[in-house]
Amino acid sequence: MAGTPNGQSGSISTMLNFPTDLTFDSSGNLYVADRNNDRVQLFLSGQFNGTTIAGSTSQSGSTAVLLSGPRSIALDSALN
């Protein structure tokens, strides 16, 4: 899981800032709603570095490419 032993938050690929929800897909990949970083992070199974798959770190908004403090996450059968 992402994070640090001392509980510090952050915005780099191995850190989260107020994660509010998570889910796993059938391959064991982890998806995290990273609220204060305005993004959704994907952590491939067994990996510590996440990839931003929605939103933009610390840039909130309401356009098709920006998120504003995502609070939950869900996947459909096609992983959308």
DSSP secondary-structure letter at 13? T
Q: For residue 39, list its beta bridge partners.
A: 34, 55
Domains and CATH numbers, the chain: 1-74 (2.40.10)
First to last CA, the chain: 22
- Closest to 18 (Cα-Cα) out of 8, 26, 5, 27: 8
Element (H, E) at 39: strand 39-43
pLDDT per residue rounded down to tens, the chain (80 residues): 555 556 667 777 888 999 999 999 999 999 999 999 999 999 999 999 999 999 987 677 777 678 999 999 999 999 88
